[in-house]
């Protein structure tokens, strides 16, 4: 294997500016004046940048790589005693000579562009491979390309294939998150199919910002309060779907189902496991608070769940929907002290949307008035 073939991937070509610098990672590094070529090769190892001649025969200079954005000069970059160059024969500039110089510069520019493009593709391949839990370095990719004599033009096809595998894996992961979220997916409720044009009022902009998932990342809870049919459950499901699309767990449960879940857990002695399953998701959605009465023990479990969720790390929010304002929830929980503690923890950092308006339901309802005659007549 030709060592040069490998190192040409690891040491990309850089053009030398008129004032004796090469640019690498947004900084300029000086090159000795004695090097008369227009291009060179560079390679970074940890905090040292090596600058080679174009043929990789020798190291021209090394530079320390720091956080500074200033130009890094080198010894011998400039000289004060430049000899005056006089032509030995009369110089006759022709169009042919200019064209040739232009072509050389263009060739160097294209070579640099292709090299930089390959570097970018290799970095993208490495990033997509890492997302697939394939640990491989850019150097290893370059070595493989050299050993297998892979033409540079095939790099794009390789990148597209790795990107396809990454997208396929991500789609499967999102599909699994949606399936375990218990959010209905037959006709999914999303922010895209919610009619935000019907949202008016002084704070309409607040509800239009829900797709940003700001509450989730700032660990704020949400409550949608209002009469039936104004879109409370739709928005809560849309929020959960958006979480899954971001690769975060969401879980949807109605208050009646939550009450039954606590009762079953007490009967089977699995309270801790049941609560852990409700604490684990980043976004927990409890729909229709006020449709089921929690007895004393279930109210205590409800508080325990909220207390543990408030203590967990990372993106975290709870979403509640109800026809009743939170001050009326106490009628459906039979343990006053635990409920008050739960409400204090829930609404310590929360946003409550009081929704009003006509019901969305029945918009496509068609009513026909018909009359059935008596067959004996």
Considering the domain boundaries, does residue 212 fall inside one?
Answer: yes
pLDDT computed for residue 361 by the predictor: 56
DSSP per-residue codes, 51-94: EE-TTSSSEEEEEE--S--S-B--TTSS-S-PPPP--SS-----
User: Buried (b) or exposed (e) across 33-45, using 16+ Cβ within 10 A?
Assistant: eebeeebbbbbee
Q: Residue 271 is inside which H or E element, if any?
A: helix 271-279
pLDDT computed for residue 13 by the predictor: 85
Considering the domain boundaries, does residue 186 fall inside one?
Answer: yes
Q: Cβ–Cβ contacts within 10 Å for residue 297, how many?
A: 15
Contact present, 240 and 318 (Cβ < 8 Å): no
203 φ, ψ to 5°? -110, 30
Considering the domain boundaries, does residue 109 fall inside one?
Answer: no
Considering the domain boundaries, does residue 263 fall inside one?
Answer: yes
178 φ, ψ to 5°? -65, -40
Considering the domain boundaries, does residue 65 fall inside one?
Answer: no
pLDDT computed for residue 119 by the predictor: 65
pLDDT computed for residue 38 by the predictor: 84
Cα-only R_g, the chain? 34
**Regions in the chain scoring below 70 on pLDDT:** 1-7, 79-119, 152, 339, 359-377
Strand partners for 222? 319, 351
Strand partners for 252? 285
Neighbouring residues of 112: CB distance < 8 A, sequence distance ≥ 6: 13, 14, 15, 39
Contact present, 122 and 159 (Cβ < 8 Å): no
Measure the CA–CA gap between 37 and 322, rounded to whole angstroms: 75
Beta strands in 326-371, from DSSP E residues, in sequence order? 350-354
pLDDT computed for residue 86 by the predictor: 54
Length of the chain: 377
DSSP state of 38: S
DSSP per-residue codes, 301-337: HHHHHHHHHHH--SS-EEEEEESS-GGGGGGGBS-HH
* CATH code, domain with 331: 3.40.50.300
- 10 Å CB burial of residue 66 (0-12, 13-18, 19+) is exposed
Contact present, 228 and 287 (Cβ < 8 Å): no
Per-residue model confidence as pLDDT tens digits over 108-130: 443 344 344 466 777 778 778 88
Contact present, 318 and 306 (Cβ < 8 Å): yes
For residue 207, what are the domain limits?
Answer: 182-354
202 φ, ψ to 5°? -60, -35
Strand partners for 52? 41, 59
How many domains are there within the chain? 1
pLDDT computed for residue 376 by the predictor: 65
Neighbouring residues of 93: CB distance < 8 A, sequence distance ≥ 6: none
Find where tokens 């009022």 sit. Answer: 201
pLDDT computed for residue 14 by the predictor: 87
Considering the domain boundaries, does residue 336 fall inside one?
Answer: yes
Start-to-end C-alpha separation, the chain? 102
Considering the domain boundaries, does residue 154 fall inside one?
Answer: no
Considering the domain boundaries, does residue 37 fall inside one?
Answer: no
35 φ, ψ to 5°? -85, 115
Strand partners for 48? 45, 64
pLDDT computed for residue 94 by the predictor: 53
């Amino acid at each position: 294997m030709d060592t040069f073939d490998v190192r040409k991937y690891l040491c990309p070509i850089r053009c030398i500016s008129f004032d004796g610098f090469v640019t690498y990672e947004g900084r300029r590094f000086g090159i000795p004046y004695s090097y008369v070529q227009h291009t060179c090769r560079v390679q970074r190892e940890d905090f040292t940048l090596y600058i080679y001649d174009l043929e990789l025969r020798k190291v021209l200079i090394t530079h320390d790589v720091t956080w500074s954005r200033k130009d890094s000069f080198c010894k011998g970059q400039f000289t004060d005693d430049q000899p005056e160059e006089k032509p030995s024969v009369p110089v006759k500039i022709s169009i042919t000579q200019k064209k040739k110089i232009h072509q050389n510069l263009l060739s160097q520019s294209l070579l640099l562009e292709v090299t930089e493009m390959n570097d970018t593709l290799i970095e993208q391949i490495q990033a997509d491979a890492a997302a697939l839990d394939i640990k491989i370095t850019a150097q290893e990719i370059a070595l493989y390309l050299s050993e297998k004599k892979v033409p540079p033009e095939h790099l794009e096809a390789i990148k597209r294939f790795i990107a396809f595998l990454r997208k396929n894996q991500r789609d499967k992961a999102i599909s699994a998150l949606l399936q375990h979220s218990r959010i209905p997916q037959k006709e999914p409720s999303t922010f895209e199919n919610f009619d935000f044009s019907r949202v008016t009022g002084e704070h309409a902009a607040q509800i239009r910002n829900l797709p940003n998932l700001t509450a989730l990342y700032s660990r704020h809870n949400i409550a949608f309060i209002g009469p039936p049919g104004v879109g409370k459950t739709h928005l809560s499901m849309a929020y959960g779907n958006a979480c899954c699309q971001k690769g975060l767990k969401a879980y949807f449960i109605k208050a009646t189902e939550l009450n039954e879940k606590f009762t079953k857990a007490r009967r089977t002695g699995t309270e801790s496991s049941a609560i852990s399953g409700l604490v684990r998701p980043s976004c927990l959605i409890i729909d229709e608070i006020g449709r089921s009465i929690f007895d004393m023990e279930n109210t205590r479990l409800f508080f325990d769940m909220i207390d543990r969720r408030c203590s967990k790390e990372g993106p975290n929010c709870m979403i509640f929907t109800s026809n009743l304002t939170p001050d009326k929830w106490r009628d459906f929980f039979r343990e006053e002290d635990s409920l008050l503690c739960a409400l204090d923890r829930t609404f310590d950092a929360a946003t409550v949307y009081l929704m009003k308006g006509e019901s969305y339901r029945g918009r496509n309802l068609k009513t026909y008035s018909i009359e059935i005659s008596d067959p004996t007549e």
